[in-house]
Chains A and B, each alone.
Chain A
Amino acid sequence: MNAILQAHALSKRYGQRQALVDCTLELPPGHVVGLVGPNGAGKTTLLKIACGMLAPTTGRIEVLGEQPNGAAVQLARVGYVAQGTPTYASLSVADHLKFGAKMNPAWDAKLAQARIEQLGLNPKQKAGKLSGGQRAQLALTVAVAKRPELLILDEPVASLDPLARRDFLRHLMESVAEHDTSVILSSHLVSDLERVCDYLVVLVSSHVRLAGETDDLLAQHHRIVCTRRQESDLPVGLKVISAEHTDRQSTFVVRSESELPAGDWSAERLELEDLVLTYLEWPVDHGAGSAGTPMQPTGEAQ
């Protein structure tokens, strides 16, 4: 099977504001992809383009081998839960299931019914009266029971309390595992993604900064602490992500495609959260000469 999402030089501009810049990305199938980045980094824009809600300004994108064009065939293959998990406030839970059944030929009524029962939702309850967590679960149910090949979720847990978050992600993982669905999930919190994602994309200031399988990324990145030195004094093959210096010692976060060579330093692996935060804090490609104080991640609220 080919890539679930293939973007080439994808850009989106809203008037003067550049929401996504030159995004080139290839996501392999069968993963739960975490899309992480600060608010305003372009996560929503990328996901909206992927499901055909927005057209890119320039560049190409293919989702499941097709351009997102709003055709029914493509709509059936991609499930989307928008930011804020909108539902019809005046429709009941049962109405939402009926809605899904009427709107999707491949609707899995049994699955939907089972999920609602499992969640303990009252079918007669109006969606407007549900809690945030319940509403998110309902939106997820509608998206999952449509039986898409790819499920796109935009910050589905952003407004949920920790317990509801865990519940939501657990349910998500269960249905994904059961039906072998690929998932792209965005969040600005790494801790949400750490539990569920096996592939990570870091988006900073409208640019893709990092993309890869979580295990590979964790294996490739190290924090090394050594006597004070310049980046250029490090062995070739180490890509410096961040550099901090005190009077006597330097701390680098480095990426090496092959095994980290031995040296006169102490090296340790990073936690996923550390790793992501490093990329968020050092948003531009860190080359020689640009060492200095870390820049704050720039992000505008959308």
Chain B
Amino acid sequence: MIWLTWRQFRAQALTGLALLAAAAIVFLVTGLRMHQSYTAALAACAPLHACDGATPAARALGAQLSQLPRSYEPMLMLLQLLVIAVPAVIGIFWGAPLIGRELETGTHQIAWNQTVTRTRWLAVKLTVVGVTAIATAAILSWLLTWWAGPLDYLNGDRWAAMTFASRNIVPLGYAAFTFALGTTLGLLVRRTLPAMAITLAVFIAIQILVPALIRPHLLPSTTTTFPINQASTSQFHDFRGTQTEFHFDLPVPRGAWLTSQPPVKNSAGQVVRIESYPECFPDSQGEAPDLSQIGACLAKDNLHQTVTYHPASHYWLLQWMETGIFLVLAGALAGTCFWWIRRRQN
């Protein structure tokens, strides 16, 4: 049975292996070069103690270091997209045809009438191809996590939707899930092409819905309320306003994932407008406004602003939770396949 699975999967597996090898070469060649310039820049900073130091030499080095993410940005986007897309490709080209093609061409009738039970037939297929799928995602995710290490550190953001979904262990969960999804759809729809299309559609929907609606709510987030006065605004980073609302960039702990930062409200909880306080917002003529002055001016009106975030310590918890959820879903889909395939007998 393992022989048959391998024999049927051979072409797809070899194609996958060739693409994986090509990707690995790109990762290694560009990654080694980038890591080299990163270590060199850090080494140059070391005698000056810090690259964001006060001396002009240190500042120059700092600028050089911050140049790194900018010059590798397109490459990072591309590789990130690759790691995110691989589970979809696996689901479409490995999952959907796994049973769908057999039902479509009638070969399940020859397979199911040998001295091998259907349950075993399915179990071997799911295991061999499923494990290959997860391993492929693991290799790519590991490569990207290594490759982008310096950039992620310099950017200081591990939480962006695409960043979170393409690093560490989350891609494994997605690969397992999309593979199981494609397989199940192939079994239920009994046609490869529609199963492929539905797999892709579901995958895209999940990539949009999970970071927006699910990931932020897996763990309780922290909400902090700041009163608007001179003391608080002097700690704020920036200020942004539009016609209808304004808000400050509030301080959150280092490495936290800021999920929501609604505009400034009054004590009744209503959003307030800039034009209600013309005296507090003098035209700064393009210069950065003095935040503490604005705070002092607004203090009498008892305004406040909140910020909601996940602390840095949630990163690995959320990585495990998201991976776990999709592994469980993959298991449920595989269970559906077993149930469906045995159901016809009794």
Q: CB within 8 Å of B: which residues of A?
A: 51-55, 68-72, 75-76, 78-80, 82, 84, 86-91, 95, 98-100, 102-106, 139, 142-143, 146
A106 vs B114: C-alpha distance when bound (angstroms): 10
A84 vs B108: C-alpha distance when bound (angstroms): 13
Inter-chain contacts of B33 with A (CB < 8 A):
none
Size band of the B side of the interface?
A: 20 to 34
B1-50 with Cβ < 8 A to chain A: 1, 3-4, 7-8, 11
Contact of B116 among A54, A103, A142 (CB under 8 A): A103
Does B107 lie within 8 Å of A103, measured CB to CB? no
Inter-chain contacts of A139 with B (CB < 8 A):
110
Does A80 lie within 8 Å of B117, measured CB to CB? no
Least distance between B1 CB and chain A CB atoms (Å):
7
Does B115 lie within 8 Å of A89, measured CB to CB? no
Are A142 and B117 CB-contacts (below 8 A) given A55-B346, A86-B105, A95-B7? no
Contact of A146 among B11, B107, B114, B342 (CB under 8 A): B114
Of A68, A75, A87, A142, most B-chain CB atoms within 10 Å: A75
Inter-chain contacts of A88 with B (CB < 8 A):
8, 107, 110
Does B115 lie within 8 Å of A72, measured CB to CB? yes
Contact of A105 among B4, B11, B115 (CB under 8 A): B115
Contact of A103 among B1, B8, B118, B344 (CB under 8 A): B1
Does A82 lie within 8 Å of B106, measured CB to CB? yes
Are A53 and B110 CB-contacts (below 8 A) given A70-B345, A99-B4, A102-B1? no
Does A53 lie within 8 Å of B346, measured CB to CB? no
- Contacts A/B (CB < 8 Å), 24 sampled: A51-B113, A54-B344, A68-B345, A69-B345, A69-B346, A70-B342, A70-B345, A75-B116, A82-B109, A84-B106, A86-B105, A86-B110, A88-B107, A88-B110, A90-B8, A90-B11, A99-B3, A102-B4, A103-B115, A104-B114, A104-B115, A106-B115, A142-B110, A143-B113
> Which 4 interchain pairs have the tightest Cβ spacing?
A103-B114, A82-B109, A86-B106, A80-B113
Inter-chain contacts of B115 with A (CB < 8 A):
72, 75-76, 103-106, 146
Inter-chain contacts of B1 with A (CB < 8 A):
102-103
Are A82 and B110 CB-contacts (below 8 A) given A55-B344, A88-B8, A102-B4? yes
Are A100 and B107 CB-contacts (below 8 A) given A53-B344, A55-B344, A91-B7? no
A84 vs B107: C-alpha distance when bound (angstroms): 10
B112 at interface, CB cutoff 8 A: yes
A103 vs B11: C-alpha distance when bound (angstroms): 21
Does B118 lie within 8 Å of A87, measured CB to CB? no
Does A87 lie within 8 Å of B107, measured CB to CB? yes
Inter-chain contacts of A52 with B (CB < 8 A):
345
Q: CB within 8 Å of A: which residues of B?
A: 1, 3-4, 7-8, 11, 105-107, 109-118, 342, 344-346
Inter-chain contacts of B346 with A (CB < 8 A):
55, 69
Does A102 lie within 8 Å of B118, measured CB to CB? no
Does A72 lie within 8 Å of B109, measured CB to CB? no
A88 vs B4: C-alpha distance when bound (angstroms): 11
Further contacts, 5 of them, CB under 8 A, given A84-B106, A86-B109, A91-B7: A54-B344, A75-B116, A102-B1, A102-B4, A103-B1
Inter-chain contacts of A146 with B (CB < 8 A):
114-115
Contact of A87 among B7, B110, B113 (CB under 8 A): B110
Contact of A71 among B7, B107, B113, B117 (CB under 8 A): B117
A68 vs B112: C-alpha distance when bound (angstroms): 12
Does B345 lie within 8 Å of A86, measured CB to CB? no
For B345, the closest partner residue in chain A by CB is: A70
For A102, the closest partner residue in chain B by CB is: B3
Inter-chain contacts of B4 with A (CB < 8 A):
99, 102-103
Does A75 lie within 8 Å of B110, measured CB to CB? no
For A100, the closest partner residue in chain B by CB is: B114
A69 vs B119: C-alpha distance when bound (angstroms): 12
A80 vs B110: C-alpha distance when bound (angstroms): 8
Are A72 and B3 CB-contacts (below 8 A) given A54-B344, A82-B106, A89-B105? no
Are A75 and B344 CB-contacts (below 8 A) given A86-B105, A91-B7? no
Does B110 lie within 8 Å of A55, measured CB to CB? no
Inter-chain contacts of B345 with A (CB < 8 A):
52, 55, 68-70
Of B113, B342, B344, B345, most A-chain CB atoms within 10 Å: B113
A80 vs B106: C-alpha distance when bound (angstroms): 13
For B3, the closest partner residue in chain A by CB is: A102
Does B3 lie within 8 Å of A98, measured CB to CB? yes
